[in-house]
Amino acid sequence: MAPKNFRNTYTPPSHPHLKPIIICGVVMALSAAPVPAMFRPDNFGSPLPENVATAGRWIQAGLFYFLFGAHAVETVMFMKRLKEHGVGFMSAAWWKWVGTCFVGGQFCFKHFDRVVGKQL
């Protein structure tokens, strides 16, 4: 069966993939946010002990690098699928699909498979 040709169209995520994509976006935004004052051990008003504050900073940094790195790699892999299905490079639909993939990661792949018809 030939791949479905999207002809530069974008289909926004819907149930059941919309909620996980939004959650991924929120977690990515929180991991990229500036370090809260309570995670800074030099802040005298911090309610957290120094070791807990340090652990919180490490966890936030780890989430940031893992999520943004993994989603960047997934986005590059996703670009090949867009080309196979007739979405032109740098078109408006391409930007929407790539943005959704960068935010949603694997859930965008599942949504795309559902739209293409590979998965019900």
pLDDT at position 77 is: 95
Q: Which position has the token pair 């974008």?
A: 10
* Total-model pTM: 0.81
Tally of helices (H runs) and strands (E runs) in the chain: 4, 0
Higher per-residue pLDDT: 54 or 16? 16
Residue 79 CA to residue 82 CA, distance in Å, equals 5
Percent of the chain with pLDDT over 70: 87
Q: Could you tell me which of 34, 35, 108 has the C-alpha nearest to residue 71?
A: 108
The domain spans of the chain are: 18-116
Contact 120, 111 (CB under 8 A): no
Question: Mean pLDDT score of the chain, rounded to an integer?
Answer: 86
DSSP letter at 30?
Answer: H
pLDDT digits over 55-86, tens only?
888 898 999 999 999 999 999 999 999 998 88
Is 94 a residue whose pLDDT tops 70?
yes
According to the model, what pLDDT value does residue 116 have? 86
What integer pLDDT is reported at residue 3 of this predicted model? 60
pLDDT value of residue 45: 66
User: Rounded to whole angstroms, how far apart are CA atoms 7 and 10?
Assistant: 9
Q: How far apart are CA 29 and CA 64, in angstroms?
A: 9
